[in-house]
Amino acid sequence: MKIRQLHINRFGHFNECDLVFPGDGLQVIYGPNEAGKTTLLEFLRGLLFDFPARTPYDFGGQGEMAGVATLELRDGRTVELRRRKGNKDKVAIKLDGQPTVLDDAGWLRLLDHADRGLFESVFAFGLDQLSQGEASLKHESLQSALFGGSLGGTSSPDKIVAE
């Protein structure tokens, strides 16, 4: 999955903020302390996997915390995900421009089964996760995901050695 665009509405200090990620290379977000790097990471986690009921990123109780992501899947299809913080009707998905209804399992299938834990450990991590890196690699599913992602879908290190 490639993140092509994000729209952030009322999350932390971001309001009506648009970010575009062109190209196919690695995207690295960097900046000075308090620039919003962790806030952006938490927004992305919430957008993909649900905003927590309580969060330090509420926008002063004014208006709706929400966001939109335009994603490109591995097979080239485009997904537009709209999510707002709330209890009802909080997710809207368009797959290749067509409104699509997906349950949580269907959403995980679109993400190649990358659940929140895998996403946070492998694809979008902060300094805390980076410092815990060696311990987290002892989990076989993380090891398989790293090998699979970096070697074009081959999911088993043993299979690579055998080949």
How many structural domains compose the chain? 1
Look up the pTM and report it. 0.73
Does any domain span residue 157? no
Q: Tell me the C-alpha to C-alpha distance, in Å, between residue 48 and each of 1, 13, 65, 84, 154.
A: 12, 19, 14, 11, 25
DSSP 156: -
Does any domain span residue 98? yes
Is the pLDDT at 124 greater than 90? The verdict is: no
Residue 160 pLDDT grade (very low, low, confident, very high; cuts 50, 70, 90): very low
Is the pLDDT at 63 greater than 80? The verdict is: no
Instruction: Say which residue, 13 or 133, is predicted with more confidence.
Output: 13
Does any domain span residue 161? no
Residue 29, C-beta contacts closer than 8 angstroms, at least 6 positions apart:
37, 40, 41
Average pLDDT, the chain: 78
CATH number for position 42 = 3.40.50.300
Sign of CA dihedral 139, 140, 146, 149: negative
Give 12-22 pLDDT, tens digit per residue: 889 999 999 98
Range of the structural domain that residue 102 is part of: 2-113
Does any domain span residue 138? no
